[in-house]
Amino acid sequence: MRTRIDLSKLVRVPLREAWKHEAGDFTPWLAEADNLDSLAEALGLSELEAVATEHLVGDFKLDILCTNGDEQVIIENQLAETDHKHLGQIIAYAAGVGARKVIWVAESFRPEHLAALRFLNENTTDDLSFFGVQVELWRIGDSPLAPKFEVVVKPDNWAKAGREQARAAASASPTKQLQLRFWTALTERLAKNAPHIRPQAPRPRHWLNNSIGRSGFGLNTTANTRDDRLSVELFIVGVEAKARFAHLVGQRQHIEQQLGFELDWQELPDALACRIASWYPDAPIEDEHRWNEYLGWLEQRLVVMDRVLRPIVRSLP
């Protein structure tokens, strides 16, 4: 005789059963570190770190200002269906803070607003991305409410990269075209072998930025065509760069021991920036037969330096 299994039903619950007020309840909840981590995971971002809630932009208040590495991110949320007012707000706020990523969170999205976000993704540069996220609330029987982030619009990075490559082919120098193809090959390799390393979309320039989990820091790669050398470097920028660099220098022996190789520590006294780099000499990217060698070295250095440096960077005062 078969044993009967009692199954409960998964029920979707209105958002206002958990959060009565948008600004007073939902925004503070979403700005908590664990919830931003869940949102970042749903979006495929390395991290989201809250800077401020109800952040003034002119005479208006942005719900949440965040960073994703060294990029500004804005989050505008609604406990209802999307409306035209909030569509205008996300564009105004993005312009006001120089955001590179715009995240619109709502209970549901009107078709017109889904189309608007897709239009913006298709007709802006790869430096600017728009996301639509539907927040859902679920319950099984008498269990506690469980939130879920459902991404309904996100940029097609493959398409944007293709458009960027087409523009570069049409207008850039042969060197710039080569740089774009090189970084495209690296991002494709990382997506396959080290998906936790999330570089920015490739551009026709000599560097490629990667987030390391804190504003003011980047774990970047460079391809210097003048000196024919590659690097993976922790680049520190801003008015606090020198103090942060000094904290890291104090841990130099420990850091290099954990890495298994030495680093080049550059304070850059004339700049509001510092660099801590690992170099690969004699690496002309014009020699495409050696690209597999180059990309393998960059991947290995990125993985190791991210593993060792990320927790140290995030713990700095």
The H-or-E segment that residue 170 falls in is: helix 157-171
Which single residue is written with the structure tokens 């879920």? 148
pTM of the model: 0.64
CATH classification for the domain delimited by 10-155, as one of 3.40.309.10, 3.40.50.10170, 3.40.1350.10, 3.40.640.10: 3.40.1350.10
All structural domains of the chain with their residue ranges: 10-155, 158-315
What's residue 83's pLDDT? 95
What's residue 267's pLDDT? 96
**Secondary structure of residue 286 in the 3-state scheme:** coil
What's residue 279's pLDDT? 97
What's residue 69's pLDDT? 67
Q: In sequence order, what are the beta bridge partners of 235? A: 218, 275
What's residue 148's pLDDT? 92
Nearest-angstrom CA–CA distance, 278 and 148 = 41
What's residue 125's pLDDT? 77
Could you tell me the two tokens for 236?
């520190």
What's residue 169's pLDDT? 54
Q: Count other C-beta atoms under 10 Å from residue 138's C-beta.
A: 13
- The one-digit pLDDT tens for each residue of the chain (317 residues) are 567 777 778 889 999 999 999 999 999 999 998 899 889 888 887 678 888 999 999 888 999 999 886 688 999 999 999 999 999 999 999 999 989 899 999 999 999 999 999 999 988 877 789 999 999 999 888 888 899 999 999 987 655 555 555 665 555 688 888 998 999 999 999 999 998 898 887 888 899 988 887 878 889 999 998 899 999 999 998 888 999 999 999 999 999 999 999 999 999 998 889 999 999 999 999 999 999 999 999 999 999 999 999 999 989 98
Q: In sequence order, what are the beta bridge partners of 148? A: 136
Classify domain 158-315 at the CATH topology level. Answer: Yope Regulator; Chain: A, (3.30.1460)
